[in-house]
Structure 1
Amino acid sequence: MKGFPGFPSGKVQFTPLPNLFFTRLLPAIDDLAELKVTLHIFWLLHRKRGYPRCVSLRELEGDGVLLAGLKGAGHKPQERLRLALERAVARGTLLHVTACRGEERDDWYFMNTDAGRRAVEKIRRGELKLEGTVAVEAPVEVERPNIFTLYEQNIGLITPLIAEELKDAEQTYPAEWIEEAMRIALEHNVRRWRYVRSILERWAAEGKDRGKGERGPEEDRRRYIKGKYADYIEH
């Protein structure tokens, strides 16, 4: 079993779940695959934009994250996925619509919410077509580490005072600036937030890339080791 390092500090993205999921659905679901598929579809639908919000079987079958969680003895992941969808539809968690275009058949799944029920009813009455809802791949989204994670990974523990400074920096500077400033600090073997902050302040005052193309590597390196922070660096 792989260990989980825990949720990072600072802002993290989240997926809301209705309270009824915990009081009515969760106690009733006795199949792990059904539970995983149900939760994954909550996550997918929350990330979608546009109308109607639904997910296709084709999209689910191409979702590497979902299929990895359905591996196990017995059935193949795709087969476990189909069985889990059947159970979720039979339970009433999901609504299933089949759209036929010529010889092609597309299976679509909606969450059994008020919006989902109204969309399905419009489809059945011919008032809404699914051609406009494009099934896209569900790649693993690699989130950029936030400033708190970067600090903990590269500098050390976060004190309350540092936490306030990090919040201010996150609101003031672009994320890529913060990442690059920390990388520069590590290259100079400096693990102090004051030094990272001095780089950010210099970029904000002088322009991040001003004159960069005219400087040589050694001059560019020494640009960050002048002034009151020079004592922290060996050169």
Structure 2
Amino acid sequence: MIPFTGFPAGKTRFTPLPDLFFTALLPAIDDLAELKLTLYMFWLLNRQRGYPRYMTQAELEAESLLLTSLQRGYEGNPLVILRKAVEKAVARGSLLRVTISDESQRTDYLFLNTPQGRKAVEQVKSGELVLETKGYVHEAPVERESPGIFELYEQNIGLLQPLLAEELAEAESTYPASWIVDAFRIAAEHNVRNWRYIKSILERWQRDGKDDEGPLTDRGRRRRRIP
């Protein structure tokens, strides 16, 4: 282990991170390489100026600091580890990828999933924004993971208060993910944006069953209804 001497006194540069990173994204990431990559992308793009802000896959693979970081705690080629981390981040939705290819080359462009990143991706796809590589623009299909309960809360209700985090985590471990998504959707459709309403929906489904599904047992296992 290399000891860290601490942050120096005086003027120091900072990299801003949105609160949603800590309340929704950080609890969901279960791979250290993906976490390192995500943080590194925030740092890299914050140092860029202008619009759009992105990194190509080739540029990332030339980042010696990132590759050195990925070597610690892992066995194998750091480039392979990095590529797997990129795939996980794209599948999760924290990174957006646009691939531009022509007869001679293929370039993967990576953006953070921020309002600016989403805008840039849409402009590239529509032809309004042209990047360095010209050619056919396409996005590789990825299977998105369902949003976690913390992300759903902040998207539909507002800023998550720390006192509520434990209760949300308990609900996430108790109810199926599809139930949680549906409960938030129903609350939004009825314009009732508070956790108590959503919690009451989940508790009713647990007790009486949801649609044609049976209720949940105390251990969270679904019982079949007897015809």
Structure 2-normalised TM-score?
0.57
Q: CA deviation at 1:126?
A: 1.1
State the distance in 2 between where 1:33 and 1:60 align. Answer: 13
* Cross-structure match for 1:140: none
The one-letter code of the counterpart of 1:99 is I
- Residues 44-83 of structure 1: CA distance to partner in whole angstroms, max 9, x if unpaired? 0000112211111111100000000011443310001000
Q: Does residue 5 of structure 2 align to residue 10 of structure 1?
A: no
In structure 2, what is the equivalent of residue 32 of structure 1? 32
What is the CA distance between 1:103 and its match in structure 2?
1.4
User: How far is the alpha carbon of 1:131 from its aligned partner?
Assistant: 1.2
AA partner of residue 125 (structure 2): R
Aligned residue pair count: 133
Corresponding residue of 1:19: 19
Alignment gaps of 5+ in structure 2: 134-227
Distance (whole Å) between structure 1 residues aligned to residue 75 and residue 104 of structure 2: 32
Partner of 1:65: 65
Find the aligned partners of 1:94 and 1:125 in 2 and give their Cα distance: 19
Q: Distance in 2 between matches of 1:127 and 1:80?
A: 34
Match of 1:86 in 2: 87
SS in 2 for 1:110: strand
Amino acid corresponding to residue 30 of structure 1 in structure 2: D
Q: Equivalent pairs: percent with the same residue?
A: 58
The alpha-carbon deviation at position 104 of structure 1 amounts to 0.6
Q: C-alpha distance in 1, partners of 2:63/2:103?
A: 26
Matches within 5 A, 1:156-235: none
Task: Quote how far apart the aligned CAs of 1:9 are.
Answer: 0.5
Inter-partner Cα distance in structure 1 for 2:102 and 2:28: 36
Report the Cα distance in structure 2 between the residues aligned to 1:51 and 1:43, rounded to whole angstroms. 16
Q: Partner letter of residue 38 of structure 1? A: T
The residue matched to 1:10 in structure 2 has which SS?
coil
RMSD of aligned C-alpha atoms?
1.5
Is the aligned partner of 1:119 residue 2:120? Answer: yes
Q: How many angstroms does 1:102 deviate by?
A: 3.0
Counterpart residue number, 1:217: none
**Equivalent position amino acid for 2:47 in 1:** R
Name the SS of the counterpart of 1:118 in structure 2: helix
The residue number in structure 2 matching 1:152 is none
Shift of 1:110: 0.4
Runs of 4+ in structure 1 displaced over 4 angstroms?
none
Q: How far apart, CA to CA, are the structure 2 residues paired with 1:73 and 1:107? A: 25
Partner of 2:144: none
In structure 2, what is the equivalent of residue 48 of structure 1?
48
TM-score between the two structures when normalised by the length of structure 1: 0.55
Structure 1: any 5+ residue segments left out of the alignment? Answer: 133-235
What aligned pairs does 1:74-113 form with structure 2 within 5 A after superposition?
A: 74-113=75-114
CA–CA distance in structure 1, aligned partners of residues 126 and 29 of structure 2: 32
